[in-house]
Amino acid sequence: MRVLVCWIGRADLNASLDDRVGLGPIASVVEARQFDNIRLMANYSVKEASGYAKWLQGKTEANICLDNYSLESPTDFDAIFPACRETLTGLKESCSSEALDLTFHLSPGTSQMATAWVILSETEFPAKLIESSIERGVRNVRLPLSLSAEWLPGYIKNRDEKLESVALELPPQVAHFENILYVSDEMKKVVNQANKVAPRSVPVLLEGESGTGKELFARVIHDAGLRSKKPFIPVNCGALPNDLLESTLFGHEKGSFTGALSTQLGKFEQANGGTLFLDELGELPKEAQVKFLRILEDKEVWRIGSTKPVKVDVRIIAATNRSLFKEVSAGCFREDLFYRLAVAVIKIPPLRQRKGDIGFLIDELMSKINVESREEPNYKDKKISPKGKKIMIGHSWPGNIRELLNTLRRIAVWSDDELISEKDVKEALLTEVDNDGGGINLLERDISQGIDLDELINTVERYYVEKAWVESGEKKKKAADLLGIKNYQTFSKRLEKYKLK
């Protein structure tokens, strides 16, 4: 089926109202070429667009369909592209039994509309491109090789980078409490604590496992406080090399050491008036902890090589995935610094302890992923099946929100169907390990929405069968002995059951 798809432009509407201005871009093509179907898209009133479609129908035997969209601006590409894709998807579904020979008309409408047709023709909906003018008539448009081979992959790469930032759970630059998704009482308590402490300037210590959203909480507290207009400076203490730690935190003067080619402000000075977020505080070496304490007490910082201090006014929000109190007891963290920072301690619960949140987050994050992915070639909105969702709710999520989000991302990428099956979910879940990396953490599952006990038992059995198989050097008798199985043939059957041979 030969199909012409295009936006209605102002020149087309004028042509339908006054024969003296000519045919307009669309009618010119209709008179010059044959089509079985014409799909018109309009950003005008229903009355104007319908009137044009009726006028055009008088000039062709092709079937004409009209899709009306209400765009805030005819140059808003972020709205235009999804509209084009929606029209083409509907066309494809309505003509599923026929092969489509698509032609996109670039001349009507804005340049942003033409750009959308170019991208779609080279990705998800292969099509011929045409243009028309009074001087040259109707002409085919051929993309330069450099555009299709170089520019379009770059466009897709940019979209992938945007989605990657979502998968990495990078906090928004301006965070608010509505960015924290929850329905559980456990999280309600934590959010209330953060809300109360936000307007104050007291230090805050955030404790929680990796992936629980500590940096997001830090940004929310900063943005909701009196320092929101001032800088928010994050520092990963665990990523600072020892030889650069002091220079990074406290700054240095020009010539103070080899390689100090200019004066450098440290993180404290960069955060002056605002918030300094110290992630993984437990990784801070004890030597640095002494200087750190002095800065908090004196409210001034000494750059390396400087002869005088610089006054600083900084709010400290620190985060750790350890218990700093235990670190103090073990002699790994200074007690005086701990009590200086632990004025407001907020413990963010792991996902497995947030009753009711997992199912809610699955729906919310999947919807977010669907919205972010709609511009991707061949992407279909995904939904988790009830059985698949039940498995995810029963998972312990040792990586917490970050693991959940990345798992949903994997499912969205690999699943071909719109309804994600139980099998898809199982394949997307990574091997479960506890926080110490030494075994399977299956004892703190939320059972309020039900769990699959047989599935959990099989998970444990498979884990240890595989571990024994590797530990034994793939010797059945030794592996059976490691697991307390008297008959190695029984172990062999379990190898076959889990396809581990």
**Contact indicator for 247, 264 with CB cutoff of 8 Å:** yes
* DSSP single-letter state for residue 346: E
User: What pLDDT score does 105 carry?
Assistant: 94
User: What pLDDT score does 193 carry?
Assistant: 92
From the number of C-beta atoms within 10 Å of its C-beta (0-12, 13-18, 19+), residue 257 rates as exposed
User: What pLDDT score does 499 carry?
Assistant: 74
Q: Give the Cβ contact number of residue 165 at 10 Å.
A: 13
Among 286, 257, 291, which Cα is nearest to 267's?
291
Q: Give the Cβ contact number of residue 197 at 10 Å.
A: 20
**Contact indicator for 274, 231 with CB cutoff of 8 Å:** yes
Give the sheet arrangement for strand 137-141, strand by strand: 63-68, 37-42, 2-7, 101-105, 128-133, 137-141
CA atoms within 13 A on the CB side of 281: 30
Query: Which residue type does 201 have?
Result: S
From the number of C-beta atoms within 10 Å of its C-beta (0-12, 13-18, 19+), residue 420 rates as buried
CA atoms within 13 A on the CB side of 327: 21
Among 198, 203, 193, 189, which Cα is nearest to 342's?
203
The CA distance from 102 to 476, in Å, is 61
User: What pLDDT score does 319 carry?
Assistant: 94
Give the torsion through C-alpha atoms of 42, 43, 45, 49, to 10 deg: -20
CA 85 to chain centre: 22
Q: Give the Cβ contact number of residue 491 at 10 Å.
A: 23
User: What pLDDT score does 55 carry?
Assistant: 93
- List, for residues 78-124, the tens digit of each pLDDT value: 889 889 989 998 888 887 777 889 999 999 999 889 988 988 887 77
- List, for residues 430-473, the tens digit of each pLDDT value: 654 343 333 445 555 656 656 677 777 877 888 788 888 878 87
Contacts made by residues 360-368, CB under 8 angstroms, sequence distance 24+? 360/181, 360/182, 360/183, 361/181, 361/401, 361/404, 362/389, 362/392, 362/393, 362/404, 362/408, 364/181, 365/181, 365/404, 365/405, 365/408, 366/408, 366/412, 368/166
> Which token pair is 457?
């038992």
**Contact indicator for 162, 372 with CB cutoff of 8 Å:** yes
Which ranges in 2-76 belong to alpha helices (H)?
10-17, 24-32, 46-57
pTM: 0.55
Which ranges in 224-342 belong to alpha helices (H)?
242-250, 267-270, 286-298, 324-329, 335-341
Residues of the chain where predicted confidence (pLDDT) is lower than 70: 143-176, 430-451, 501
CA atoms within 13 A on the CB side of 373: 20
**Contact indicator for 415, 407 with CB cutoff of 8 Å:** no
The CA–CA distances, whole Å, from 24 to 10, 21, 33, 118 equal 9, 8, 15, 21
* DSSP single-letter state for residue 413: H
Cβ-Cβ contacts under 8 Å for 494 (sequence gap 6 or more): 461, 465
User: What pLDDT score does 446 carry?
Assistant: 59
Helix 386-394 to helix 357-373 angle (10° resolution) is 120
The CA–CA distances, whole Å, from 245 to 236, 276, 292, 319 equal 11, 15, 11, 18
Give the torsion through C-alpha atoms of 244, 246, 248, 254, to 10 deg: -90
User: What pLDDT score does 445 carry?
Assistant: 60
